[in-house]
Amino acid sequence: MEFDLVIRKRRMVRAYKKVKVEEYKIKKILENAYRAPSAGNLQPQEFIIVRDERVKRELAEAALNQEFIAEAPIVIVVCSDSRRNVWRYGKRGRDFYCIIDGSFSSLLILLSCVNEGLGACFVGAFYDDEVARVLNLPKEVRPIGIIPIGYPDEKPERIPKRPLEDMIHYDRF
Ligand SMILES: Cc1cc2nc3c(=O)[nH]c(=O)nc-3n(C[C@H](O)[C@H](O)[C@H](O)COP(=O)(O)O)c2cc1C
């Protein structure tokens, strides 16, 4: 699909058909996520692929009972392992770069899903410690986003956005 169209078509999709997502599509999505930039190219991103029904349900609970997470055929949890950058960047690496690096990968996942005819939603509202417990994450590995993925079973409305001109500033805020 054409690049601009992929960006324009992307909406958060929160209802999924009960249809398996093909392995080759998951592989393509992950290969794209892998190409995300990272501070100092230290690549703290970790991708946890969840298919187990019980784990999906526990993730939904850890995310304030956002049930659609459990209903997706597959969930990718993007995490960042601060051990990969804290040695070079200290607090900045742990508290800032880790989040940005994981976010860049997450956006590539969302856009790749559109390109593959799939729907996905970035879920950031969750209890970190609960997600860490469910996924058995080491304490240095921070969950960045829970991304349920599946064939869309809804066509999300266009959400009103701020006018672009209001968001652009020249030289100073
Ligand atoms: C940091 C962040 C956290 C978000 N957390 C959630 C969430 O927990 N649950 C949810 O349904 N959507 C979540 N969203 C999706 C937003 O609600 C959505 O992007 C926004 O309403 C605009 O809709 P659109 O992406 O379809 O244009 C999150 C998005 C971002 C960027």
Q: Per residue in 52-99, pLDDT tens? A: 999 999 999 999 999 999 999 999 999 999 999 999 999 999 999 999
Residue 135 is assigned to a structural domain of this protein: yes
pTM above 0.95, yes or no: yes
Domain assignment of residue 23, given as a range: 3-149
Q: Is the CB of 122 under 6 A from ligand 1?
A: yes
Are residues 139 and 132 in contact, defined by beta-carbon separation less than 8 angstroms? Answer: yes
Residue 170 is assigned to a structural domain of this protein: no
User: Residue 88 to residues 42, 46, 78, 81, 85: CA-CA distances in angstroms?
Assistant: 9, 19, 22, 13, 6
pLDDT value for 52: 98
**Which one of 122, 142, 146, 147 would you pick to mutate in the ligand 1 pocket, going by the greatest count of ligand atoms within 8 A of its CB?**
122
Q: Specify the CATH number for the domain of residue 116.
A: 3.40.109.10
Residue 157 is assigned to a structural domain of this protein: no
Into how many domains does the chain fold?
1
Residue 160 is assigned to a structural domain of this protein: no
Tokens of 44: 């703290």
Q: 3-class DSSP state for residue 89?
A: helix
Binned at pLDDT 50, 70 and 90, residue 104 comes out as: very high
Are residues 130 and 61 in contact, defined by beta-carbon separation less than 8 angstroms? Answer: yes
Atom of ligand 1 lying closest to residue 14 CA: 11
